[in-house]
A and B are shown apart, each in its own frame.
Chain A
Amino acid sequence: DAGVIQSPRHEVTEMGQEVTLRCKPISGHNSLFWYRQTMMRGLELLIYFNNNVPIDDSGMPEDRFSAKMPNASFSTLKIQPSEPRDSAVYFCASSPASYNEQFFGPGTRLTVL
């Protein structure tokens, strides 16, 4: 299995631009999670989906952030408009239903200038 796939691996953009991060979970995993890692706040859960349905988005910092999961094999995290304080590493993770361990992708390093 290829594991969780994230793209792009690196993204550099200017303030005000729209950014879209992509994730392909492991086939057969029912749950998908988006995290953000920063030096100040560590690894924070932004939103998670079960069976493609958003369950809890209370970690999404602002309305500028949105996430979708149109099918079981694809999810996006969008930031519009982006701001310099959004610079961080964004991880996607997936897991089978009712499973404690999560499988993380390699992350997308976002830099907003």
Chain B
Amino acid sequence: DQQVKQNSPSLSVQEGRISILNCDYTNSMFDYFLWYKKYPAEGPTFLISISSIKDKNEDGRFTVFLNKSAKHLSLHIVPSQPGDSAVYFCAASSYASGGSYIPTFGRGTSLIVHP
């Protein structure tokens, strides 16, 4: 059973408009949430994160919102640019006894930004 779900496999947006990518999780023990961006033939790269004690984190054009009661987070990209076209993975993590934060990934949303 998926603990982290990205229900939209793909999203198409016009350049300059807002892109909103959504993610839902089921495990209330998750205490840190991350978004990764992946281009073809490359590994995922970290984009932005948020701790469970916050409800918003902003970094330039990227903002992540967290709604703990709904177990939902979203990534907003404003304005969207063609270079943002990639697969975006949502990840939720908790601290493991072995001393690492262990993420659980969603299946990804493919964002296409049209010029």
Contact = CB atoms under 8 A, between A and B. Distances in A.
A55 B46 contact: no
Contacts of B103: 45, 100, 102
Contacts of B98: 48, 50, 55-56
B81 to A, nearest CB: 23
A98 B100 CA distance: 5
B100 A95 contact: yes
Contact of B46 (A31, A45, A102): A102
Interface in A79-105: 91, 93, 95, 97-105
Contacts of A50: 98-100
Given A43-B89, A100-B93, A48 B102 contact: yes
B79 to A, nearest CB: 25
A106 B105 CA distance: 17
Nearest to A42: B107
A67 interface: no
Contacts, number: 65
Q: How large is the interface on A (under 10, 10 to 19, 20 to 34, 35 or more residues)?
A: 20 to 34
Contacts of B89: 43
A28 to B, nearest CB: 15
A31 B100 contact: yes
Nearest to A35: B105
A43 B105 CA distance: 6
B99 A98 contact: yes
Given A43-B44, A55-B100, A106-B43, 18 more contacts: A41-B107, A42-B105, A42-B106, A43-B107, A43-B108, A45-B103, A45-B104, A48-B98, A50-B100, A95-B101, A97-B99, A100-B34, A100-B49, A100-B101, A100-B103, A101-B46, A102-B103, A104-B44
Interface of B: 32, 34, 36, 41-46, 49, 89, 93, 95-96, 98-108
28 contacts: A4-B43, A31-B99, A31-B100, A42-B105, A43-B44, A43-B105, A43-B108, A48-B98, A50-B98, A55-B99, A56-B98, A56-B102, A91-B43, A97-B100, A98-B99, A98-B101, A100-B32, A100-B34, A100-B49, A100-B93, A100-B101, A101-B34, A101-B46, A102-B103, A106-B41, A106-B43, A107-B42, A107-B43
